[in-house]
Amino acid sequence: MPKVALFLRLFSWFSIRHMLKHRGRTITVLVGIALGAAVFTSIRLSIHASLDSFSKSMNSISGRTDWTVVRPGGRVSDTLVGLLLRHPCVRAASPILSTYVKPVQKEAEPFLLVGVDPIMDRSLRSWQIDRLNKEDAGLWLDLLKYPYTMFIGHPLSRQFELAAGDFLTLEHTFRKSDFRVLGKLAPEGPAIVEGGRIAITDIATFQEFTNLHGLIDRIDLRLRPAVSENDLEGIRRLLPEGVFLQSPTETRKSGQQMIQAYQLNLSILSFVSLFVGMFLVYSIVALNAASRRHELAILRSIGASSHLLFLLFLSEGLFLGVAGWLMAIPISSFLVKYLLYGVSKTISVLFVRVHVENLVLSGWEILLSFGITVFISALSAYHPARKAMHVDPKEVLSISRQEKILKKSPFQLAVIGFFFIFFVWPLSRLPVISGFPLAGYVAIFLLLTGFSFLSPWGLHAMGNFFALFLGRLGGEPARLAGLYVRDSGSRTSISVGALITAVALYTALVIMVHSFRETVEIWVNQTISGDLFLRPKMADINHHRDPLPPEVIRTIKNIKAPVDLVPYRRFYLNYDEALYQFEAMDFQNFARYGKFFWIKGNPSQSLPKLIEGEGVLVSEVFASQTGLTVGDFYQSRIEGAALQLPILGVIRDYRTQGGDLSIILLDIFSRK
Amino acid sequence: MYPTSPIISAKALTRTYSPGTSTIIGINEINLEVFPGQIVVLKGNSGSGKSTLLSLIAGLDHPTRGELTVANHDLKTATPTALTRYRRDVVGMVFQSFNLLPTLNVLENVCLPGLLAGHPDSRVRAKANELLEWLELKSRLHHRPSELSGGEMQRTAIARALINDPTLILADEPTGNLDSCNGKIVIDLLVDLNRHQGRTVIIATHSKLADPYATLQIYLRDGTITKKTCQR
Ligand SMILES: Nc1ncnc2c1ncn2[C@@H]1O[C@H](COP(=O)(O)OP(=O)(O)OP(=O)(O)O)[C@@H](O)[C@H]1O
Ligand SMILES: [Mg+2]
């Protein structure tokens, strides 16, 4: 009989039947594995979906763009377009503006409004109008001809029940205006950005609507083939101070990097969920191996090799892994729907805006989760399988055995546990090595294993106490129950270890996916204890690009009542490949109402300097990402102004995009 | 008396156990020769070393000292793999507590050693059916051990011991868990295997049931042979 067939038959006779006999136990373990695998898979899948949607959006919105002209923290003058087009290497240039707007009256999420020159933009992006007839060929140019007209994506037309000729009132910081719908955009190319919740209008209309006369967000350039570095230098020389050439891949990369960092953290965390399954597999296979010792001896005595026994028990782990993973499929498909929303929302708030419509099933992700689940289950079966392998065939005989049991005492285990936990704090303080916080992950691992090692001792102590207490309360049976907990030893402790891991994990995951976002939002709002926060409409989603209208500022400044004002501005910038936010505020007043948590630097010495505008504070995240710290110089260009300021302190800031604080606010205002 | 060379030959065979610091004697300096076709009965008080001696002959355990050769296998120096093969092909064992696998039915329990030996499925099955028919278990093929009586279980165990046509059959207290009627049936079967199929049989037992058939009786005390009586 072929070996594999024999093995499978024996596995079904010996192992499967045993599992079926102890159905409850087996199902519990399977559910444990399935939950772990489901959490892992659905988390990976939902981040993958966000990443995928982000990359697709970035690619389709940048179209055939080779380089982009930007002014970090500010906008570019539209006169630059003509200048650039005259350069022999520039094949096409398209000015572009975009912002999130909200339909008035309707309770709806903001959507993206893009302003382009319909003619210039054709050579960079392929916008397609839906169901275009021959006689409608000129429709595209109607954007130019008629002000306040727009094309909208399918989802918008569905949501607001809009057809060609209908009007929609949109609102932005400065005004509300009626836009006439010219038609629908075919769901392809740049029109799939934001899941199709996009509208496109002529650039002149856009500028008037948003009060940005003569200004554009950026200019996308398409160059002639084989442009040399020299030619690029030539183009750069055309640009005024503070205006730069940026590669669209760079922008995409920095966004992707942030999502990937989040993905790594969540993956590692959700990987812990598989640990729970690992504990369970270990405990059930160990239990089987121990309780079936005699059967193993029988097998050995009738000619089964120790190797075969090892394989039988290892396969039990494998089988549980595969079956658990299969059970995870329906759980994941339920979980992923919920997580997709949570994860993409968190990514949008913390890093870059993503709009995930549906799930992309990545074969690689599924294979990964399958591989990891099965591997981990087999790994946890390894140790019990080794034990099974060493069962003495002589045990079939009824020989009076005096087996010596070598077990570590609960106290010894607890010492190991304390030893592990002791290292958690120093490990978590170690620096990140090339973007991978290995020491941090090891610290998490030690924390979990440390507490698991403590559990036998804890149970022992608790059992003692409970036995006494329960004995008084419920008599002898209750006392015996208490003693059982004390003496059940490793079996109960493994379950307790699994529970510790599970609870820690789910708490951490909920924080990462949910409350983290909310905490950050609350934290951002509460850093300063103000009575009233005044900010432009949709400031967050529009990255604070549009400051308060001058008339608002004037009105506020003229308030007679004794009011303290803390003017504040925020810019979204990038430092090499790391995106970060630059915040400017009036430190004098801020210091009275708000406080930072300083990690490095001397607050009392630095405060006067900060108030004078002679330095900046950086967040911990920014410091670790850029390697800059107290004593270094922070350099950047914001709205054309070059900044070079000493870093006076490193502070705690929960935003993952970093955060940079300085007092040069008044300076910038006066320059504007 | 027996012209051929011995099937079992033990010289100064010793097995001691040392849990912790003390030393416990299982068997001590045993010299023994058993010839093919003999039926040997091991007798002695509890703890005298009967099971220990059987386990060494069965290849379930390693001697501490001395020599042990069974059917041309040197069991003192055999590797674990060789011992596994030896247990599978050379000996068939019957135990006091039957030692059937609870998740396998009668037919499967009987077939398993044959399958483990790598024999073709159909052949093993045919042979198992034949044995079970002879042992009057035909109607019990698909029953699990928990559904059988003690006598049925022991007969199943005998069928299992015979599936690979062993030259040597070892029985440790085979009647210990049976009533006298079933005990007699089992002893008769073992004697039958010896008389009609010429297999060598060794029975360790407290009972007198097997005494009349024994060609060699060995008395053990504290791990040493105190008396040997040859009949015939
Ligand atoms: N694994 C072991 N560790 C320590 N001592 C052992 C071990 N196995 C057997 N012994 C000892 O060896 C001696 C012989 O035991 P054995 O089981 O062979 O006796 P027995 O004659 O089969 O007894 P019984 O009639 O009760 O079955 C006993 O003293 C026993 O305690
Ligand atoms: Mg015995």
pLDDT for residue A402: 40
Task: Tell me how many degrees the CA angle B162-B166-B168 measures, rounded to the nearest 5.
Answer: 110
- Name which of A97, A108, A112 is nearest A197 in CA terms: A112
Mark A554-592 as b/e (b = at least 16 C-beta within 10 Å). Answer: eeeeeeeeeeeebbbbbbebbbeebbbbbbbbbbbbbbe
Q: What are the residues whose beta carbons fall under 8 Å from the beta carbon of A121, sequence distance 6 or more?
A: A94, A96, A127
Q: How far is B186 from chain A (nearest CA, A)?
A: 18
Q: What is the sign of the dihedral through the CA atoms of B185, B188, B193 and B199?
A: positive
Partner residue opposite A303 with nearest CB, options B88, B100, B103: B88
Residue numbers in B near A398 (CB within 8 A): 51, 95-97, 172-173
Residue A330 tokens read as 């329906």
CA of B172 to the centre of ligand 2 (A): 7
Tell which of B24, B73, B84 to mutate to test the A interface (max A CBs under 10 Å). Answer: B84
Highest mean pLDDT out of A121-125, A567-571, A640-644, A664-668: A121-125
- Name which of A287, A291, A285 is nearest A310 in CA terms: A285
DSSP codes of every residue in B93-153: EEETT----TTS-HHHHHHHHHHHTT--HHHHHHHHHHHHHHTT-GGGTT--GGGS-HHHH
pLDDT one-digit tens code per residue, A528-540: 666 777 777 777 7
Q: What are the residues whose beta carbons fall under 8 Å from the beta carbon of A509, sequence distance 6 or more?
A: A39, A43, A266, A269, A270, A273
Residue numbers in A near B47 (CB within 8 A): 400
Q: Residue whose CA is closest, atom 7 of ligand 1?
A: A401
Question: Which of A15-24, A70-79, A335-344, A633-642 is predicted least confidently?
Answer: A633-642
Main-chain phi, psi angles of B30, to 5 degrees: -90, 130
Residue numbers in B near A300 (CB within 8 A): 60, 84, 87
Per-domain boundaries in chain A:
1-63+251-395, 66-247, 398-530, 547-671
Q: Which residue of A has its CA nearest to B57?
A: A394
pLDDT one-digit tens code per residue, B149-175: 999 999 999 999 999 999 999 999 999
Q: Does B56 contact ligand 1 (Cβ within 6 A)?
A: no
Cβ contact B47–A398 (<8 Å): no
Atom of ligand 1 nearest to the CA of B55: 18
Residue B14: alpha-carbon gap to chain centroid: 19
Q: Does B176 contact ligand 1 (Cβ within 6 A)?
A: no
Q: What is the sign of the dihedral through the CA atoms of B38, B39, B44 and B49?
A: positive
Asked if pLDDT for residue A316 goes beyond 50, the answer is yes
What is the count of residue pairs from A and B with beta carbons less than 8 Å apart? 95
The answer, for A360 touching chain B at a CB cutoff of 8 Å, is no
pLDDT for residue A668: 34
Cβ contact A303–B54 (<8 Å): no
- Residue type for A590, please? F
Q: Which residue of A has its CA nearest to B123?
A: A1
Which has the higher per-residue pLDDT, A639 or A148? A148
pLDDT one-digit tens code per residue, A179-199: 999 988 988 888 888 888 899
Q: What percent of chain A has pLDDT over 90?
A: 25
pLDDT for residue A114: 93
pLDDT one-digit tens code per residue, A613-627: 788 888 877 887 778
Q: Does B24 contact ligand 1 (Cβ within 6 A)?
A: yes
Q: What percent of chain B has pLDDT over 90?
A: 81
Element (H, E) at A593: helix A587-593
Q: What's the mean pLDDT when you consider all of chain B?
A: 92
Asked if pLDDT for residue A408 goes beyond 70, the answer is no
pLDDT one-digit tens code per residue, A485-523: 777 766 677 777 777 777 877 787 777 777 666 666 665
Query: What domains, with CATH codes, occur in chain B?
Result: 1-90+166-232 (3.40.50.300), 101-164 (no CATH)
Angstrom distances, CA of residue A648 to CA of A225, A598, A604, A607, B26: 47, 10, 11, 9, 81
Atom of ligand 1 nearest to the CA of A402: 3
pLDDT one-digit tens code per residue, A77-121: 989 999 999 999 999 999 999 998 988 876 778 889 999 998 899
Q: What is the sign of the dihedral through the CA atoms of A71, A77, A83 and A84?
A: positive
DSSP codes of every residue in A14-67: IIIHHHHHTHHHHHHHHHHHHHHHHHHHHHHHHHHHHHHHHHHHHHHHHTT-SE
Q: Does B150 contact ligand 1 (Cβ within 6 A)?
A: no
pLDDT level of residue A671 (50, 70, 90 thresholds): very low
Q: What is the sign of the dihedral through the CA atoms of A638, A643, A646 and A648?
A: negative
For residue B188, the tally of other CB atoms under 10 A from its CB is 13
CA separation for the pair B16, B49 (Å, rounded): 10
Tell me the pTM.
0.76
CA separation for the pair A302, B98 (Å, rounded): 13
